[in-house]
């Protein structure tokens, strides 16, 4: 059995939904289907989820959301008409949206989540209806009936462990099951959503619960590429990649998946395949626990801007027991998460995402580290980029760092920080943001073009 998830761009209009249904029917193994809400039809369009957030916000601030509700209804109306479905489904959707407005608004998060979830919920009903209209045996499954229980963290829910046992029985249900992504229910019976993009998580949870043979994630790209196609022209496709490699790449700018989405399938060792709804015959990229064939040391190169670095120095830092803990304690007090901490005997560099650090927080952190730890010097440098050069084939391979640094030297790019974890699966480089595009191209050429 396969679990297939279709993202918002795959469901943005009737034409896309027809493609989705064809893909579903082409493979009888595709038994559990997770759908997102209709996404953007073109660059300037608005996702249904964003329209629903606008409904909730308008209602909360003015007590009225008629205009916003009608805008959402008209998106579904257009789709239903083109799919040849009866008017009834549109009326049901309008009634559903209006009934959500009658919920208690005291807890804003709870109210907004209930509105947000309407996008996938109604989309799932519509897809199930369309499949039935063309003669398939399909049905909508409500996450509450199926037992998808989540924590009550509105807009950022976590799955509760008992969900996996509850969801197992989906395996024995007949026909094609259309399951709405992005939301589940708290133990008190309230709708709770994952963070944005969370339908990927729903698919992963279902695949793990039913022990699927494969989790297919349909989107609008043929595959994951070895470098960002907006940076490198015609980068090579990645056919197979391990979970570990994917994690390293996605954290530095490869945003194919929701960050938390791979956890449930990873724990079960279920492979994930990224595929394109608009080109389903393309092989896609498969994410596996362990790659069988490693032909090259490097599988991908990712890079992202928006980092800053806190440089700390103190004479005899290495001898001061508890120094690191105290620094990290200050970051914890300020709710700051860090990415890397490369260190030397008397130095420590803490790399953070810049958007967490407004100037007041920055000043407070600097003052506290200065005063509480008596450091000799502390500076914060902004506008940093991180590059991750990733590949399981780098393990025990001589000369990888030499090739990376050589490529950057030839391109006259200064490396400010370099870090290789003990896993040897990735090498991280910290550079100035302005050099990012040139740096990625230089490293890409070295590993993918020049010598292979
Ligand atoms: N529709 C939701 C969002 O736009 C969830 C998803 O598509 O995965 O974030």
56 and 158 part of one domain: yes
Q: Does 411 map to a domain? A: yes
| Last residue in a domain, options 178, 205, 220 | 220
Is any ligand 1 atom within 6 A of the Cβ of residue 37?
yes
Decide: 203 in ligand 1 pocket, CB within 6 A: no
Enter the DSSP assignment of 236: P
Whether 216 contacts 6, CB under 8 Å = no
Cβ atoms of 217 and 272 within 8 Å: the answer is: yes
Q: Please work out whether the CB of residue 36 comes within 6 Å of at least one atom of ligand 1.
A: yes
The closest-lying atom of ligand 1 relative to the alpha carbon of residue 197 is 8
Asked whether residue 276 is domain-assigned, the answer is no
Q: Is residue 232 part of a domain?
A: no
For residues 268 and 210, the answer to whether their CB atoms sit within 8 Å is no
Question: Same domain, yes or no, for 213 and 306?
Answer: no
Residue 117 in any domain: the answer is yes
User: How does pLDDT run along the chain (452 residues), one tens digit per residue?
Assistant: 999 999 999 999 999 999 999 999 999 999 999 999 999 999 999 999 999 999 999 999 999 999 999 999 999 999 999 999 998 999 999 999 999 999 999 999 999 999 999 999 999 999 999 999 999 999 999 999 999 999 999 999 999 999 999 999 999 999 999 999 999 999 999 999 999 999 999 999 999 999 999 999 999 999 999 999 999 999 999 999 999 898 888 877 777 777 788 899 999 999 999 999 999 999 999 999 989 888 889 999 999 999 999 999 999 999 999 999 999 999 999 999 998 899 999 999 999 999 999 999 999 999 999 999 999 999 999 999 999 999 998 988 899 999 999 999 999 999 999 988 767 789 999 999 999 999 999 999 999 986 55
| 267 in a structural domain | no
CATH assignment of the domain containing 72? 3.40.1160.10
Determine the pLDDT at residue 34: 98
Among the three residues 220, 238, 263, which one is the final residue of a domain in this structure? 220
**Eight-state DSSP code of residue 173:** S
Residue nearest to atom 8 of ligand 1 (CA): 197
Distance CA 248, CA 262 (A): 13
pTM score, whole prediction: 0.89
* Residue 122 resides in a domain: yes
Neighbours of 157 (CB within 10 A): 25
Any ligand 1 atom below 6 A from CB of 114? no
Q: What is the total count of domains within the chain?
A: 2
Does the Cβ of 198 fall within 6 Å of ligand 1? yes
Among residues 220, 236, 256, which one ends one of the domains? Answer: 220
Closest CA to 340 of 306, 371, 309, 318: 309
* Per-residue confidence (pLDDT) for residue 420, from 0 to 100: 85
What pLDDT, on a 0 to 100 scale, did the predictor assign at position 222?
A: 93
User: Which pLDDT value is given to residue 14?
Assistant: 97
Ligand 1 site, residue 197, Cβ cutoff 6 A: yes
- Identify which of 427, 379, 434, 424 has the alpha carbon closest to the alpha carbon of residue 403: 427
At 257 the pLDDT is 75
Distance (Å) from CA 8 to ligand 1 centroid: 7
Six token digits for residue 37: 């809400």
Q: Are residues 210 and 306 in the same domain?
A: no
Residue 291 CA to residue 174 CA, distance in Å, equals 34
49 lines ligand 1 (CB under 6 A): yes
Q: What's the farthest any 2 CA atoms get from each other in the chain?
A: 76
**CATH, residue 346:** 3.30.2130.10
What separation in Å is there between the alpha carbon of 31 and the centre of ligand 1?
22
Residues 30, 150 share a domain: yes
191/45 same-domain check: yes
Residues 320, 191, single domain; the answer is: no
What's the domain range around 385? 300-449
Q: Is 294 within a domain?
A: no
Same structural domain for residues 181 and 43? yes
- CA distances to 223, 381, 446 from 437, in Å: 21, 20, 14
Q: For ligand 1, is residue 196 a contact (CB within 6 Å)?
A: yes
Pocket mutation for ligand 1, best pick of 183, 198, 218 (most atoms within 8 Å of C-beta)? 198
Kindly state whether residues 172 and 310 are assigned to the same domain: no
Note whether residue 242 is domain-resident: no
Alpha-carbon distances of 377 from 140, 305, 308, 426, rounded to whole Å: 61, 25, 17, 30
Terminal alpha carbon distance of the chain: 38
């Amino acid at each position: 059995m396969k679990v297939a998830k279709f993202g918002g761009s795959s469901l943005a209009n009737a034409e896309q939904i027809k493609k989705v249904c064809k893909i579903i029917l082409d493979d009888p193994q595709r038994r559990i289907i997770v759908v997102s809400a209709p996404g953007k039809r073109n660059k300037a369009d608005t996702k249904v989820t964003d329209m629903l957030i606008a409904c909730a916000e308008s209602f909360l601030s003015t007590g009225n959301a008629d205009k916003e509700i009608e805008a959402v209804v008209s998106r579904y109306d257009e789709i239903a008409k083109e799919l040849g479905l009866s008017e009834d489904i549109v009326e049901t959707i309008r009634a559903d949206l209006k009934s959500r407005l009658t919920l208690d608004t005291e807890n804003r998060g709870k109210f907004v989540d209930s509105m947000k979830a309407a996008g996938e919920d109604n989309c799932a009903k519509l897809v199930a209806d369309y499949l039935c209209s063309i003669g398939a045996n399909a049905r909508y499954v409500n996450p509450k009936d199926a037992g998808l229980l989540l924590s009550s963290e509105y807009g950022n829910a976590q799955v509760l462990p008992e969900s996996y046992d509850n969801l197992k029985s989906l395996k024995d249900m007949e026909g094609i099951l259309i399951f709405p992504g992005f939301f589940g229910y708290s133990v008190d019976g309230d709708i709770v959503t994952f963070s944005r993009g969370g339908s990927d998580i729903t698919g992963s949870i279902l695949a793990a619960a039913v022990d699927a043979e494969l989790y297919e994630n349909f989107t609008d790209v043929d595959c994951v590429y070895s470098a960002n196609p907006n940076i490198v022209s015609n980068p090579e496709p990645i056919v197979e990649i391990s979970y570990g490699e994917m994690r390293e790449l996605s954290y530095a700018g490869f945003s194919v998946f929701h960050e938390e989405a791979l956890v449930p399938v990873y724990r079960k060792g279920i492979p994930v395949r990224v595929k394109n709804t608009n080109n389903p015959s393309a092989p896609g990229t498969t994410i596996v626990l362990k790659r069988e064939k490693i032909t090259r040391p490097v599988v991908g190169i990712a890079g992202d801007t928006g980092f800053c670095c806190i440089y700390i120095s103190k004479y005899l830092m290495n001898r001061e027991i508890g120094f690191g803990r105290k620094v990290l304690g200050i970051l914890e007090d300020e709710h700051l998460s860090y990415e890397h901490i490369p260190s030397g005997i008397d130095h420590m560099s803490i790399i953070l995402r810049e958007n967490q650090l407004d100037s007041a927080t920055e000043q407070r952190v600097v003052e506290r580290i200065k005063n509480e730890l008596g450091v000799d010097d502390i500076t914060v440098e902004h506008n940093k980029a991180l590059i991750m050069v990733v590949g399981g084939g780098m393990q025990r391979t001589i000369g990888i760092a030499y090739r990376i640094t050589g490529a950057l030297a030839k391109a006259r790019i200064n490396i400010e920080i370099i870090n290789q974890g003990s896993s040897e699966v990735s090498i991280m480089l910290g550079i100035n943001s302005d050099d990012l595009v040139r740096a990625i191209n230089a490293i890409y050429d070295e590993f993918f073009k020049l010598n292979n």
